[in-house]
Chain A
Amino acid sequence: MNAESNAMPQSPLESQVIAPAVMPAARPMYWSVRRELWENRSIYIAPLAVAAVFLFGFLISTIHLPGKMRAASTLDPMRQHELIAQPYLIASGLMMLTTLVVGLFYCLDALYGERRDRSILFWKSLPVSDLTTVLSKAITPVVILPLVTFAITVVMQWIMLLVSTAVLLGSGQSVTTLWAHGSLFQTWLMLLYHLLTVHGLWYAPIYGWLLLVSAWARRAPFLWAGLPLLAIGVVEKIAFNTSHFGTMLANRMIGGGGGGDFMTGSLSMDPLMHFTPGEFLISPGLWIGLAVAAAFLAAAVRLRRSQGPT
């Protein structure tokens, strides 16, 4: 008993002494991701700005809310649900679109910007491997950005619901219909699922391609990201008079196999209809996409190894 209680306080002390000598492998990764957030403040500023603008518009629209609710009470439950849930779904859709745009621009600049401003010479003078650096730049759009968007969207929709409640209570109406059909919890679950599967996994090859271009291009990464794809499409069209490549790209962009494609899915009446993780996880499109993404990232790591500033 005594021996144990004596040993206890010593262990934190020991680990402190040892700490400077060995650095856990995860630390460079943690700090690399933090550096991405310092450098690319658009990761949270852009969704925040879009959320603020949307909320502003929504606040003004609440003038009509008591009338709208009164009209809704006469409709059948399906139409009622559609009408009430609509602004929340539009909000989610808008935030996901913002995430996608921010992610695309982020990737195009991620490995190009550091060469253009020569700061790569500084980053490379530190004991962080090229693999860690490239992975940190892939994790940002695949994991960090969706989670940031999710958090902002949850807060935003919560504010929308509270404001609506306040307005309805102010006009002396009941809020039961609103709370019954607002079903925020379901919306959030769906949003998180969509962000992680589509933005995280399904879009991975798109982000991988853009990171590869940004590691390779000496200038104009934006052009290099688009032109080769266009060229392949044109050549295919002329040579075989088919457009499989274009169809494949379009399928990838609008989240074809995502099990929650946001162009139609998130705006549809019952989002849970698309909630099919099992189907998504066994779809070959997902795994082919991930393999392609891994190949792109491996190429980007190789490129960065042999590169100085442009």
Chain B
Amino acid sequence: MTVIEARGLRKAFGTTIALDGVNLRVEEGRILGMIGPNGAGKTTALNAILVLTPYQGELTVLGRDPWAERDLLMRDVCFIADVAVLPRWITVSQALDYVAGVHPRFDRAKAEGFLAKTTIRRSGKVRELSKGMVTQLHLALVMAIDAKLLVLDEPTLGLDILYRKQFYDSLLNDYFDRNRTIVVATHQVEEIQHVLTDVMFIDRGHIVFDRSMEEVESRYVEVVVHPEKAAAARGLQPMHERQRFGRSILLLDAVERNQLAALGDVRTPSIADLFVAVMENQAAVHKE
């Protein structure tokens, strides 16, 4: 089943074009990482999916027109924006009461179970909690909702590494299964790359890269070239080249791996390196 389908999604703020005809298709059971620099259009794309902003173009979420049926859609869609969107005046037990009151798919016992693993007090107000605890609370609320699509927009912004790791661990271990779909937008690439099944790079309102992780692993390869083989390696038309400790590191797309061993040490590139390569190529294209 297709969870999200967008065709020609466009959004402009005045003269700034945030989304320039984005086509997007997310299937059920995937974890898609939307990665892009600040201002690339990630949040705008997610806001369109979540009906937080008007847009042009066609968009279907879980088979519905989100604009016409937002409140119905939100029974099946959950959303965590960057930290601290929980109202500061609300107490933990009020938050539980409210979500239990309005959400037909909320399992309160489950949320209480997640909270029991934290040090969050039931009577505490959100304003008294640390950033990390607010995120834990929000995650506990959201994971207790039996939703089909979870959208995360920079969910771990401003959190320390322990909370960030915990966040994605509990998401994977206690929440994700093949019936759910997760879309996560971030620019902290490293910590989510093991979590993803698909990765997408956004730049200036365009999707410039869209692959499954299997594809990424089979197609792209990074070679730390022996200095004397540098010229031969460059003949393979690398996507990107950088220098480290006096050696060239080349990033190659769709090359026979066998011939590379002779040139240097071969490894799979990290998403971060791939991202830098794609973005620098994009910048070069825009300069021309």
A interface residues, Cβ below 8 angstroms from B: 20-23, 27-28, 30-32, 34-35, 38-39, 114, 117-119, 121-122, 124-130, 132, 305-308
Q: How far, in angstroms, from A118 to B153 measured CA to CA in the complex? A: 14
Cross-chain contact A31 with B53 (CB below 8 angstroms): no
List 16 A-B pairs, Cβ < 8 Å: A31-B101, A38-B89, A38-B91, A39-B89, A118-B84, A119-B88, A121-B79, A121-B81, A122-B85, A124-B70, A124-B74, A126-B99, A126-B102, A127-B72, A127-B103, A305-B70
Q: How far, in angstroms, from A122 to B89 measured CA to CA in the complex? A: 13
> What count of chain B residues pass the 8 Å CB interface test?
34
Cross-chain contact B79 with A114 (CB below 8 angstroms): no
Cross-chain contact B104 with A127 (CB below 8 angstroms): yes
With contact pairs A119-B86, A125-B79 given, residues A20 and B47 touching in the complex (Cβ less than 8 Å): no
Cross-chain contact B104 with A20 (CB below 8 angstroms): yes
Q: Does B215 contact A (CB under 8 A)?
A: no
Residue among A27, A114, A125, A308 with max Cβ neighbours from chain B (10 Å): A125
Further contacts, 4 of them, CB under 8 A, given A117-B88, A121-B81, A124-B50: A30-B101, A127-B75, A306-B54, A308-B47
Instruction: Chain A residues near B280: list those with CB within 8 A.
Output: none
Instruction: Chain B residues near A121: list those with CB within 8 A.
Output: 52, 79, 81, 85
Instruction: Chain A residues near B103: list those with CB within 8 A.
Output: 126-127
Q: How far, in angstroms, from A117 to B81 measured CA to CA in the complex? A: 13
Out of B50, B54, B90, name the residue touching A125 (CB < 8 Å): B50
Q: How far, in angstroms, from A264 to B98 measured CA to CA in the complex? A: 43
- The chain A residue sitting closest to B138, CB to CB, is A122
Q: How far, in angstroms, from A11 to B157 measured CA to CA in the complex? A: 50
Cross-chain contact A129 with B71 (CB below 8 angstroms): yes
Q: How far, in angstroms, from A305 to B47 measured CA to CA in the complex? A: 12
Out of A32, A34, A114, A126, name the residue touching B87 (CB < 8 Å): A114
- The chain A residue sitting closest to B151, CB to CB, is A125
Q: Does B78 contact A (CB under 8 A)?
A: yes
A114 to chain B, nearest CB (A): 7
With contact pairs A38-B94, A127-B75 given, residues A27 and B85 touching in the complex (Cβ less than 8 Å): no
With contact pairs A38-B90, A308-B47 given, residues A126 and B74 touching in the complex (Cβ less than 8 Å): yes
- The chain B residue sitting closest to A128, CB to CB, is B102
Instruction: Chain B residues near A132: list those with CB within 8 A.
Output: 71
Instruction: Chain B residues near A23: list those with CB within 8 A.
Output: 102, 104
- The chain B residue sitting closest to A126, CB to CB, is B102
- Residue interface bits B47-89, CB-to-A below 8 A is 1, else 0: 1001111100000000000000011111101111100111111
A165 to chain B, nearest CB (A): 41
Instruction: Chain B residues near A38: list those with CB within 8 A.
Output: 89-91, 94
Cross-chain contact A27 with B102 (CB below 8 angstroms): yes
Q: How far, in angstroms, from A124 to B86 measured CA to CA in the complex? A: 11
Cross-chain contact B102 with A31 (CB below 8 angstroms): yes
Instruction: Chain A residues near B53: list those with CB within 8 A.
Output: 306, 308
Q: How far, in angstroms, from A80 to B127 measured CA to CA in the complex? A: 55
Q: How far, in angstroms, from A3 to B77 measured CA to CA in the complex? A: 45
Out of B52, B71, B77, B90, name the residue touching A128 (CB < 8 Å): B71
- The chain B residue sitting closest to A23, CB to CB, is B104
Instruction: Chain A residues near B86: list those with CB within 8 A.
Output: 119, 122
B26 to chain A, nearest CB (A): 18
- Residue interface bits B117-143, CB-to-A below 8 A is 1, else 0: 000000000000000000000100000
Q: How far, in angstroms, from A234 to B111 measured CA to CA in the complex? A: 57
Q: How far, in angstroms, from A129 to B73 measured CA to CA in the complex? A: 10
Cross-chain contact A125 with B104 (CB below 8 angstroms): no
Q: How far, in angstroms, from A256 to B269 measured CA to CA in the complex? A: 76
Q: How far, in angstroms, from A118 to B43 measured CA to CA in the complex? A: 14
A34 to chain B, nearest CB (A): 8
With contact pairs A23-B104, A126-B103, A308-B47 given, residues A117 and B87 touching in the complex (Cβ less than 8 Å): yes
Q: How far, in angstroms, from A130 to B68 measured CA to CA in the complex? A: 12
- The chain A residue sitting closest to B104, CB to CB, is A23
Out of A20, A21, A39, A308, name the residue touching B52 (CB < 8 Å): A308
Q: How far, in angstroms, from A124 to B94 measured CA to CA in the complex? A: 17
Cross-chain contact A125 with B47 (CB below 8 angstroms): no
Q: How far, in angstroms, from A130 to B51 measured CA to CA in the complex? A: 12
A53 to chain B, nearest CB (A): 25
Q: How far, in angstroms, from A125 to B86 measured CA to CA in the complex? A: 11
A21 to chain B, nearest CB (A): 7
Q: How far, in angstroms, from A59 to B72 measured CA to CA in the complex? A: 56
With contact pairs A22-B104, A127-B104 given, residues A35 and B71 touching in the complex (Cβ less than 8 Å): no
With contact pairs A28-B102, A125-B79 given, residues A119 and B85 touching in the complex (Cβ less than 8 Å): yes
Cross-chain contact B47 with A127 (CB below 8 angstroms): no
Q: How far, in angstroms, from A122 to B102 measured CA to CA in the complex? A: 13
Q: How far, in angstroms, from A271 to B75 measured CA to CA in the complex? A: 51
- The chain B residue sitting closest to A19, CB to CB, is B104
Q: How far, in angstroms, from A130 to B67 measured CA to CA in the complex? A: 12
10 A-B pairs with least C-beta separation: A31-B101, A125-B79, A119-B87, A129-B71, A127-B74, A121-B85, A308-B52, A23-B104, A121-B81, A127-B75
Q: How far, in angstroms, from A38 to B52 measured CA to CA in the complex? A: 25
- The chain B residue sitting closest to A113, CB to CB, is B87
Cross-chain contact A125 with B78 (CB below 8 angstroms): yes
Out of B71, B97, B138, name the residue touching A127 (CB < 8 Å): B71
- The chain B residue sitting closest to A40, CB to CB, is B89
With contact pairs A118-B81, A306-B53 given, residues A127 and B102 touching in the complex (Cβ less than 8 Å): yes
